[in-house]
Structure formats: structure tokens, C-alpha cells
A and B are shown apart, each in its own frame.
Chain A
Amino acid sequence: MPKVSLSHFEAALLFAFFTSIVFGVVSKRTDRERVRYAAYCFAWFVAALFGLGWLMFLAHR
């Protein structure tokens, strides 16, 4: 099994990507709704990532 070394940002983006896919697949009833919901979840994951990143940056100043 190859070993990968990712940054925090890359790992969090991949986490958001895979999780959003599953959220989209299991929670809506049409394909169009699923795609939209997966994109919506991914966007919120990324927004939270930047928000928490800035929060921690400012809190540690």
C-alpha cells in the first residue's frame, strides 16, 4: 500500500469531497437534487474549513 503525505488543507478537502458524495446520494430523491445537495455540502465544508482556519489563526495571535 503506497504511503501518501497530505497537508491539512488537502486532507480536509478530500474528506469534504467523499463525505459530500455520500450525503448527496443518501439524502435526496432525484439525481438533480443529489448533485445539488452534494455541491451544497461540499461548499459548506470548505466554508467551515476557511472559517475555522481563520478563527484559529486569529485566536493564536
Chain B
Amino acid sequence: MDSPKPQQPGPPPAVWAPAVGLAWLFPGAGHFWLRRYGRAAWLAFAIVGMYLLGLMMRGPLFHPERGPDLLTTLIQYGGFVGHLCSGLLYLLTLWLGYAQPDAPGAVHDYGAKFLVTAGLLNILAMVDAYEIAAGRKS
């Protein structure tokens, strides 16, 4: 029976932290820092495009607040975490005073999903930037 392989230690944060930090700050910036210009452009196009469409659909933002029930609380906090992962896009949205109330309607609802999904897609971009910086991927 094979003995389990010992886990290799991860690379030091100095190697990957700038790329991951930039990837969080602006979609595609981590790949740009790592000189993957084509992939950086596609990520920026897709994630920023999705986020801007969410704003143009007047999607409401989620806030970290308790709802009347557990499900609503989870949705609010989960959505807020998704927004945070959009980095500067979300911070600019707040700083520029975007405050869309939660209104009924399919377009608003899609807008909310676009805004959250942009952040979730940026998590994938951050993980990819980490793997490239750590040398696990070209």
C-alpha cells in the first residue's frame, strides 16, 4: 500500500499576494501583472461587462444585515460577499452613491444576479492568478 504523499508547502505570499491582490482590486489586473495580457483582457471584458450590465439593469445591492428569517439573512450576507469580491467596481459603486431599492421585476432581479455573479467570477480569476503566480499553471 502506498503511503500518502507529503504535502508540498505552498509558495510564500510574496510570490502570489500582489497578483491575487490586484486580481481582487480589478478584474484581470492580476493576469496583467503576470504578463498574461490576452487572458487579462478577456477577464476584464467579461467581468466588468457583467457588472456594468447589472448596474444598467438597476440591480439592487445586498447589504450585510439580518433579515426576518434565516434564508433572507443568508442571501443578504452571501450577496454582500459576492459584491466584495468585485473589488474596486463595488467600492466605486458605493462611493458614487448608487442606491437602487429592491423593486419587483425580472430585469431588476437579473441585475442583482449579474452584480453578484461578477464578484463570484472574479474569485475564479483570483484563483487562476494564484495558480499562475505559484507556478502550478502557465
- Chain A interfacial positions (CB closer than 8 Å to B): 1-6, 8, 11-12, 14-15, 18-19, 21-23, 25-26, 29, 31
Contact = CB atoms under 8 A, between A and B. Distances in A.
A1 B128 CA distance: 31
A2 B110 contact: no
Contacts of A3: 56-58
Given A1-B55, A4-B57, A18-B46, A25 B110 contact: no
- Chain A contact residues: helix, strand, loop or mixed: helix
Interface residues of B, number: 29
B26 to A, nearest CB: 15
B49 interface: yes
Interface of B: 38-39, 42-43, 45-47, 49-50, 52-53, 55-58, 98, 106-107, 110, 113-114, 117, 121, 124-125, 127-128, 137-138
Contacts, number: 67
Contacts of B50: 14-15, 18-19
B105 to A, nearest CB: 9
Contacts of B53: 4, 14, 18
B56 A2 contact: yes
A1 B56 contact: yes
Contacts of A6: 57, 107, 110
